[in-house]
Amino acid sequence: ELKVEQNPLFLSMQEGKNYTIYCNYSTTSDRLYWYRQDPGKSLESLFVLLSNGAVKQEGRLMASLDTKARLSTLHITAAVHDLSATYFCAVDRGADGLTFGKGTHLIIQP
Amino acid sequence: DTGVSQNPRHKITKRGQNVTFRCDPISEHNRLYWYRQTLGQGPEFLTYFQNEAQLEKSRLLSDRFSAERPKGSFSTLEIQRTEQGDSAMYLCASRTSGGSYEQYFGPGTRLTVT
């Protein structure tokens, strides 16, 4: 059974600081997804990582994938309050849907 | 293109009643997925369609749940004899067969069973 583990599950940080969220998964996969979810809202796609060594950046967020280590990271640079949300990683086993982690609840305080 | 839409957005029902949700995917997206999300958890995969064919069902999808996608366009998810444990956000997502593999999620239907 595919398992996806995120850590930390909860993170409170100050504006301007850097931090990394980790996503480990238990079986081979070449596709890794990062989503953002605001309270009471649906999921917003941030990144799709399709191969080993893939790195994508959008604004203050950067995601990377190491398929050999079965590890993805989401790095936040110089955090701002607007980035407060829950971040999910998910692994694609093929056509049969995504398996999500439990999410990292991120609070960024002024 | 208005994205994935879901109706209703909220549904409150009494235990034992049947409910049906609708999902309209992004046009030309032939793959459609249903997920369920409970409070504080990540979404859990329920079922998947490619065009009108239902190709995968999770063990989470009990016999009380049924999904259809007639004509390969919109999809419906029906829950019969609802139980309090069915209370959750039901999310629909769609994507194309190839390309970026990105799944686009709808706003969800929040079900409360009293």
Q: Is the backbone of residue A65 left (phi > 0), alpha (psi -120 to 50) or beta?
A: beta
Q: Which residues pair with A60 in a beta bridge?
A: none
B7: contact with A, CB 8 A cutoff? no
Burial of A58: CB neighbours in 10 Å, binned 0-12, 13-18, 19+ = exposed
Query: How does pLDDT run across B22-78, given as a tens digit for each residue?
Result: 999 999 899 999 999 999 899 999 999 999 999 988 888 889 999 999 988 999 999
**Cα gap B48→B52, rounded to integer Å:** 10
Are the C-beta atoms of B106 and B23 separated by less than 8 Å?
yes
pLDDT at position A86 over 90: yes
Query: Are residues B41 and A102, on separate chains, in Cβ contact within 8 Å?
Result: yes
Which whole-number Å values give the CA distances from B81 to A64, B16, B69, B109, in the listed order? Answer: 44, 4, 21, 18
Residues of B in contact with A98 (CB under 8 A): 33, 35, 43, 45, 103
Considering only CB atoms, A31 lies closest to which of B31, B43, B101, namely B101
Q: Find the length of chain A.
A: 110
